[in-house]
């Protein structure tokens, strides 16, 4: 009675981690365990968010529109045009933007919209980096496509090697998921890389879905974005400069609001219109108070700059404590460390048993053995706790 496709969905990494350490008491003596496995931001949320939500509680009595409020769309458009230097080809709040219940909802749902039953006479393919966000693979399988995992290893700067993809694969590709800054490695795709991907989407007629939810966490230069790439490729008078491109953002990481479940998708106007119609059947709307608070968050940069300063302090500590151990290199973006410890699963178990530090084995985020040597460490906790966690990792894993 159940859809057999669902039997092939990749297992969530966190139940696997729970089984790995089941029955194992956390070490570290009398010190409290330190949880560095889940990428849930713990910095303070902006003060004004609670005030707006409280002042607009009466709006919970209204059905919110699927397209969000005009005020929300305008705030998002202003931010995108400013952040990604969109001047000659700007985001139109009426045509190019749709709110989401966080990025995961939109990233999963988009596969159903853009995956045909057949492409080039064969089963369609959905491409994604490996390691990958589990949502991408689940969406591909549920939509009836073949997920193709593109290894993103150190020798390719932790980005998929576009030259290694065959013409036969390109011809049946319906959707390409790309995450930059990357989860878990923190690699950032250059503007040239993004331009090439955008051009490939046009050449081979697939949709490029760029997951940019970590774009505002960085300690060097601001990462480039897909809209910026499409803007630079567009020619004067082009009807749709963001052709076949969708970018996904949320307030979870940028503004420390994971529980608000507020994000958006922006890009190709025809895809946005069709996605809006599709989502009207599913009904994942954002309550009007959330819509108003989100608009205020997209319009404020002071709290985002403070957020970056807090992460920079923790990465400064990682530079000092880890040095070049475990292949550590300060990530270009995001808030994860991707550490080569030889056997990530064994190291995760040891860190919990001996040091009371919970991290995620890299193999739980990948297909094949590309993630086996790694652990993912989430740098989301308070500064002193993060420093102590890094010290425990170094003491425990050093020979």
Q: What is the pLDDT of residue 19?
A: 97
Interval 128-159: pLDDT, tens: 999 999 999 999 999 999 999 999 999 999 99
| Euclidean distance between CA atoms 241 and 231, whole angstroms | 6
For residues 294 and 314, state if they share a domain.
no
Interval 82-120: pLDDT, tens: 999 999 999 999 999 999 999 999 999 999 999 999 999
The residues, ordered by sequence, that sit 6+ positions from 280 with a Cβ below 8 Å of its Cβ are 66
Q: What is the CATH number of the domain that holds 369?
A: 3.90.1150.10
Kindly state the average pLDDT of the residues 295-311.
Answer: 98
For residues 163 and 65, state if they share a domain.
yes
Which among 282, 299, 316 is the end of a domain?
A: 299
| Euclidean distance between CA atoms 353 and 27, whole angstroms | 5
For residues 130 and 242, state if they share a domain.
yes
Which among 299, 316, 338 is the end of a domain?
A: 299
For residues 191 and 327, state if they share a domain.
no
Kindly state the average pLDDT of the residues 307-315.
Answer: 98
For residues 31 and 104, state if they share a domain.
no
Q: What is the pLDDT of residue 319?
A: 98
Kindly state the average pLDDT of the residues 374-387.
Answer: 98
For residues 73 and 207, state if they share a domain.
yes
- Compute the CA torsion angle 216, 221, 226, 232 (nearest 10 deg): 140
- CA 346, 347, 349, 355 dihedral sign is positive
Domain assignment of residue 273, yes or no: yes
Domain assignment of residue 293, yes or no: yes
Domain assignment of residue 317, yes or no: yes
Per the rule left: phi > 0, alpha: psi between -120 and 50, beta: everything else, 38 is beta
Distance of alpha carbon 135 from the chain centroid: 10
Which among 266, 299, 332 is the end of a domain?
A: 299
> Is there a contact between 235 and 45 (Cβ–Cβ < 8 Å)?
no
For residues 245 and 332, state if they share a domain.
no
Give the confidence band of 30 by pLDDT, cuts at 50, 70, 90.
Answer: confident
Domain assignment of residue 25, yes or no: yes
| Euclidean distance between CA atoms 78 and 93, whole angstroms | 9
For residues 102 and 130, state if they share a domain.
yes
Give the confidence band of 236 by pLDDT, cuts at 50, 70, 90.
Answer: low
Average pLDDT, the chain: 96
> Is there a contact between 240 and 272 (Cβ–Cβ < 8 Å)?
no
Domain of 130, in residue numbers? 61-299
> Is there a contact between 347 and 375 (Cβ–Cβ < 8 Å)?
yes
When divided into structural domains, the chain yields a total of 2
For residues 152 and 202, state if they share a domain.
yes
Q: Which residues pair with 238 in a beta bridge?
A: none
For residues 332 and 373, state if they share a domain.
yes
3-class SS string, 150-194: EECCHHHCCCCCHHHCCHHHHHCEEEEEEECCCCCCCCCCCHHHH
Domain assignment of residue 14, yes or no: yes
Domain assignment of residue 56, yes or no: no
Q: What is the pLDDT of residue 399?
A: 75
| Euclidean distance between CA atoms 373 and 322, whole angstroms | 17
Q: Is the pLDDT of residue 237 over 70?
A: no
For residues 240 and 93, state if they share a domain.
yes
Length of the chain counted residue by residue: 399
Tokens 């507020």 -> residue: 262
Going through the chain in order, the beta strands assigned E by DSSP cover 34-35, 97-100, 125-130, 146-151, 173-179, 207-211, 245-250, 263-267, 336-340, 357-358, 360-361, 374-378
Q: Is the pLDDT of residue 28 over 90?
A: no
What phi, psi does 202 have (nearest 5°)? -70, -40
For residues 105 and 193, state if they share a domain.
yes
Domain assignment of residue 16, yes or no: yes
Give the confidence band of 60 by pLDDT, cuts at 50, 70, 90.
Answer: very high
Q: What is the CATH number of the domain that holds 242?
A: 3.40.640.10
SS3 27: coil
Domain assignment of residue 51, yes or no: no
Q: What is the pLDDT of residue 7?
A: 79
């Amino acid at each position: 009675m159940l859809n057999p496709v669902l039997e092939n969905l990749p297992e969530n990494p966190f139940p696997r981690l729970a089984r790995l350490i089941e029955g194992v008491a956390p070490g570290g003596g009398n010190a409290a365990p330190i949880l560095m496995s889940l990428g849930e931001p713990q910095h303070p949320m902006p003060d004004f968010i609670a005030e707006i939500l409280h002042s607009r509680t009466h709006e919970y009595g209204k059905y919110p529109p699927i397209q969000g409020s005009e005020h929300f769309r305008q705030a998002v458009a202003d931010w995108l045009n400013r952040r990604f230097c969109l001047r000659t080809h700007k985001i139109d709040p009426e045509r190019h933007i749709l709110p989401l219940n966080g990025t995961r909802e939109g990233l999963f749902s988009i596969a159903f919209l853009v995956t045909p039953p057949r492409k080039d006479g064969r089963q369609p393919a959905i491409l994604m980096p490996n390691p990958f966000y589990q949502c991408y693979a689940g969406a591909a399988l549920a939509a009836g496509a073949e997920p193709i995992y593109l290894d993103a290893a150190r020798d390719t700067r932790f980005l998929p090697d576009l030259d290694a993809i065959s013409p036969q694969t390109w011809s049946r590709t319906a959707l390409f998921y790309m995450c930059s800054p990357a989860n878990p490695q923190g690699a950032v795709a250059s503007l040239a890389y993004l331009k090439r991907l955008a051009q490939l989407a046009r050449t081979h007629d697939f949709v490029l879905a760029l997951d940019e939810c970590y774009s505002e966490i960085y300690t060097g230069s601001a990462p480039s974005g897909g809209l910026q790439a499409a803007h630079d490729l567009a020619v004067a008078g082009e009807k749709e400069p963001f052709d076949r491109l969708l970018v996904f953002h949320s307030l979870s990481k940028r503004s420390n609001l994971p529980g608000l479940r507020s994000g958006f998708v922006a890009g190709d106007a025809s895809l946005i219109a069709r996605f809006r119609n599709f989502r009207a059947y599913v009904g994942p709307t954002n309550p009007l108070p959330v819509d108003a608070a989100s608009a205020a968050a997209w319009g404020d940069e002071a709290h985002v700059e403070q957020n970056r300063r807090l992460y920079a302090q923790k990465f400064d500590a990682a530079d000092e404590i880890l040095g070049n151990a475990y292949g550590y290199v300060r990530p270009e973006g995001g808030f994860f460390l991707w550490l080569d410890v030889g056997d990530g699963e064994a190291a995760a178990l040891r860190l919990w048993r001996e040091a009371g530090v919970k991290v995620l084995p890299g193999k739980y985020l990948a297909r094949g053995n590309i993630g086996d040597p790694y652990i993912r460490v989430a740098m989301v906790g308070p500064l002193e706790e993060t420093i102590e966690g890094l010290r425990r990792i170094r003491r425990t894993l050093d020979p």
